[in-house]
Amino acid sequence: MSPLSLTHELPKGDVLVAYCTDIAWSPFFPLLSGVVTELGGLISHGAVVAREYGIPCIVGAAGATSAIRTGSMVRLDGSIGTLQEVGIHNTHAAKGPGIL
């Protein structure tokens, strides 16, 4: 998935769940209310940019893209590293993988 192909599907306040992020995602971080990536650590791109914007972030969350269903409503706590699916939001049900 590339940021440019998904920008029309990224409403303000969504949580991005992706395998990883790179510099191409940077302009979209202000739209997000949270970021979860399977790949990365404390100094990975996603973690650093999320920290700069004050956005909750979990990195190194192996299996997150397959565990969280597209269109899910989630509870993200970046301070303790928990991500919980709490329901489905129908207006997002048709989106591609990893966009919540």
98: in domain: no
CA distance 61 to 66: 11
What is the pLDDT, as a whole number, of residue 87? 83
What is the pLDDT, as a whole number, of residue 10? 75
18: in domain: yes
| CATH number reported for the structural domain that contains residue 37 in this entry | 3.50.30.10
97: in domain: no
The residue annotated as part of the active site, out of 8, 45, 89, 92, is 45
Can you give the residue range of the structural domain that contains 38? 3-92
47: in domain: yes
Catalytic (active site) residue 89: no
pTM of whole model > 0.75? Answer: yes
Number of domain units in the chain: 1
pLDDT tens string, the chain, 100 residues long: the values are: 556 566 666 788 999 999 999 999 999 999 999 999 999 999 999 999 999 999 999 999 999 999 998 888 999 999 999 999 998 765 444 444 444 4
